[in-house]
Amino acid sequence: MTTMLGSGNQACSPTHAPPCNTLGFLQKNNSLGEEGRLAGSLSERQKNLFSCVNSDRDARFRRTETDFSNMFARDLLPAKNGEEATMQFLLELVDILTNYVRKTFDRSTKVLDFHHPHQLLEGMEGFNLELSDQPESLEQILVDCRDTLKYGVRTGHPRFFNQLSTGLDIIGLAGEWLTSTANTNMFTYEIAPVFVLMEQLTLKKMREIIGWPSGEGDGIFSPGGAISNMYSVMIARYKYFPEVKTKGMSAAPRLVLFTSEHFLYFPVIPQSHYSIKKAGAALGFGSENVVLLSTDERGRVIPADLEAKILDVKQKGYHPLFVNATAGSTVYGAFDPINEIADICEKYNMWLHVDGAWGGGLLMSRKHRHKFSGVERANSVTWNPHKMMGVPLQCSAILVREKGILAGCNSMCAGYLFQPDKQYDVSYDTGDKAIQCGRHVDIFKFWLMWKAKGTVGFEQHIDKCLDLSQYLYDKIRNREGYEMVFEGVPQHTNVCFWYIPPSLRGMEHNSKEYREKLHKVAPNIKAMMMESGTTMVGYQPQGQKVNFFRMVISNPAALQSDIDFLIDEIERLGRDL
C-alpha cells in the first residue's frame, strides 16, 4: 500500500507510508493552543518527512490501488495507524457512489433492476443479506455497497416519477454527506450550534414566505409530513384544552377533526387525510372523530360541506377543534380553498392547519403561490422541502403562527429549570419543544441548497415542473386512448389519467366488464415497467374510480423527452392488453 499526499499544487511523495494519524495536521484556527497537549509525540524524522503538509492547505489523499481483501473494519480509525486505510476505504466508496450518481442521470441506465423479495432473500451471486457473528473483509463490504445500489431503485433517474419525492440534488447530497460526517443531533445548541441556528433562520424565512408578520412564530423540523401534521393536532388541542396535557383526553369534551375525504383504498403515498386519521388514532381522539369533508370534481374541499358538518358535530354536543386544509393533495394535487375555510374557522373558533407537505414548494413561485391564497390566516402549516423542492429525504417542517406554543405543548419541565447554569443562552436549545429526544439534523442540506440556488433557484425549479406537467396534460388530454380522471389544468404537477388499450376502446364505459378490465390495466403496465426497468409511475383507484395513473413531476432531471418516453412506454407495454 502506498501513500500519496499532495498539498495544493505542491506534490509530496514520502518514500514509505508512516502512520498518518499521529502527524497532527494542525488546522490554523482549530487546534489546541499553547495549552494543547499532543497525545503522541512525533519523531523529528516524521516531522521532516511531512513538512509539506504543514502549509495552510490540508493534505490531500489520493486514491491508490488498495487490496481490501485482508483488511477489516478493525483496521480503520480509530485503530492505531488506521488513517491510510480509512482514507483509501472512503475514497473507494466515494468512487462507487460517484459512479452511481453519474449513471443515475444517464438515460441509458435502467431505473431499477427488479427482483422479487424471495429472490433477494435467497441471495444474488455474492450478495447475502444475512448477518453473521464474524466480520467480513472490507472488500466484501465494498461489494455489498455496490450490490445494495445495484438492486435498489434510482429515485434520481430522469424517468423516475413514482413518488412525490424524486430527483437527486447534488448540493442536497453534499449536504447529507456532511451531515452524516458531523453526526450530531439537534437537541441542544451545545452539540449542534451551527445547525440549530440554521434551523432557526430557515424556519423564520419560511414563515416570512407564508406571510406571517416579520416571520414571527414557532416551528421545528420533524421526521416527515405525518409527524408534522401530528404536531399540528397536538398544539391545536393544547391551545384550546391545555389541561389535556396533564389530565388526558377526559379533561376535554369529545373533540372532532376535519379533513378532506380524498382517500379510499390506499394511495401510493398517503398524506393529509391519512396522516390526520393516524394522528387522530394515535393521539387519543379516535379515528371516528376525524370527519371527512366532501370534495368537488377536482378534489377540493367544499366549504359549505365543512360548515354543515361542523354544525352537525356541534348539535351532537361534540367540539369541533381543527380543520386541515390540504394544499396539494396526494392524488389530484388539489388545493383546498384556504380563505373560505379560514372564514369558517374564525366563525367557529377552530384551529386552521394547512397541510402543504406536497404543495408547500409552490409558495416559492410568484406564478403559482396564489394557490395558497389565505395561508397567512392559518394557525399552522406543514411544508416538506423533501417533496416538491427536491431536498433529500427527510426534511419536513411544522410552522406555527403563535410563538412559544410548541414548547408549551411538549415541554416536560418549567423553563427556569432548564439547565440555567449553562454559559450560553439556553433559549437556543430545542430539545424540550420536540416530541423526540435526539433529533436528526435535517436542516443542513436544505440550508445549503437554499444558499446554492437562492430563492430564485427554487422558483425556477417549481415553475419548470409545473410547465412540464402542463406539457403532459396538453399532450394526452385529446390523445386517442387516454382519458383524464378530472377535467381542467391540474393545480399541481399531478396529472391523473387512464390509458385505454385498443381492446377496450369500443366498450360501454359504465359496464361492469369494462370497469373490471380497465382496473387491471395500470397495475399490469406498471408491473411490466418495473420488470423492464425503463421508468416508474404510480397508480391507484380513487373513490369509485378504477385504477388510473397518477403522474407527478418533482424531478429536476426530467425533460419533455422523458414525458414523451413515458407515454411511448405506456403505449408499448399496454397496447396488447
The correct pick among 37, 45, 316, 505 for binding a second copy (CB under 8 A) is: 37
- How far from each other are the two terminal CA atoms of the chain, in whole angstroms? 59
Q: How do strand 319-326 and strand 255-260 relate by DSSP bridges?
A: parallel
Q: By three-state DSSP, how is residue 343 classified?
A: helix
Q: How far apart are CA 559 and CA 24, in angstroms?
A: 49
Does position 11 interact with a second copy (CB under 8 A)? The reply is: no
- Give the footprint of a second copy on residues 73-92 (CB under 8 A): 73-74, 76-78, 82-83, 86-87, 89-91
Helix or strand holding residue 496 (H, E): strand 495-499
Does position 488 interact with a second copy (CB under 8 A)? The reply is: no
- Give the footprint of a second copy on residues 494-533 (CB under 8 A): 519-520, 523, 526-527, 530-533
Does position 197 interact with a second copy (CB under 8 A)? The reply is: yes
The correct pick among 547, 549, 553, 566 for binding a second copy (CB under 8 A) is: 547
The correct pick among 17, 136, 471, 514 for binding a second copy (CB under 8 A) is: 136
Q: What is the CB-side half-sphere exposure of residue 199 using CA atoms within 13 A?
A: 29
Number of chain positions touching a second copy (CB under 8 A) = 209
C-alpha closest to that of 158 among 383, 488, 464, 510: 464
Q: Shortest approach of a second copy to residue 488 CB, angstroms?
A: 27
Q: Shortest approach of a second copy to residue 304 CB, angstroms?
A: 27
C-alpha closest to that of 63 among 142, 121, 133, 131: 142
Spell out the long-range contacts of 306-311 with Cβ–Cβ below 8 A and sequence spacing 24 or more.
Answer: 306/258, 306/341, 306/344, 307/344, 309/258, 310/258, 310/344, 310/348, 310/350
Q: Shortest approach of a second copy to residue 283 CB, angstroms?
A: 6
8 A C-beta contact, residue 74 and residue 135: yes
**Cβ closest to a second copy, residue 137 vs residue 294:** 137
The correct pick among 49, 93, 484, 577 for binding a second copy (CB under 8 A) is: 93
Q: Give the strand order in the sheet containing 482-484.
A: 160-161, 536-542, 545-551, 495-499, 482-484
The correct pick among 227, 293, 350, 354 for binding a second copy (CB under 8 A) is: 227
* CA dist 574 → 502, 520, 566, 569 (Å): 9, 11, 12, 8
Q: By three-state DSSP, how is residue 451 classified?
A: helix
* CA dist 544 → 202, 267, 456, 485, 516 (Å): 42, 14, 41, 11, 12
Q: Shortest approach of a second copy to residue 4 CB, angstroms?
A: 11
Residue type, position 156, single letter:
G
Q: How do strand 482-484 and strand 380-383 relate by DSSP bridges?
A: unpaired
The correct pick among 50, 161, 195, 335 for binding a second copy (CB under 8 A) is: 195
Q: Which stretch binds a second copy (CB under 8 A): 212-220, 450-458, 480-488, 489-497?
A: 450-458
**Cβ closest to a second copy, residue 158 vs residue 219:** 158
The correct pick among 2, 10, 13, 148 for binding a second copy (CB under 8 A) is: 148
C-alpha closest to that of 138 among 98, 170, 91, 174: 91
DSSP structure class, residue 59: P
Q: Shortest approach of a second copy to residue 393 CB, angstroms?
A: 5
Residue type, position 565, single letter:
F
Does position 27 interact with a second copy (CB under 8 A)? The reply is: yes
Q: Shortest approach of a second copy to residue 335 CB, angstroms?
A: 19
CB atoms within 10 A of CB 511: 10
Does position 15 interact with a second copy (CB under 8 A)? The reply is: no
- Give the footprint of a second copy on residues 380-439 (CB under 8 A): 386, 392-394, 410, 412-413, 417-419, 421-425, 428, 431-432, 435-439
Q: Shortest approach of a second copy to residue 542 CB, angstroms?
A: 13
Q: Shortest approach of a second copy to residue 119 CB, angstroms?
A: 10
Does position 304 interact with a second copy (CB under 8 A)? The reply is: no
The correct pick among 44, 130, 487, 576 for binding a second copy (CB under 8 A) is: 130
- Give the footprint of a second copy on residues 553-572 (CB under 8 A): 556-557, 561-562, 565
DSSP structure class, residue 57: S
8 A C-beta contact, residue 472 and residue 551: yes
Does position 1 interact with a second copy (CB under 8 A)? The reply is: no
Does position 20 interact with a second copy (CB under 8 A)? The reply is: yes
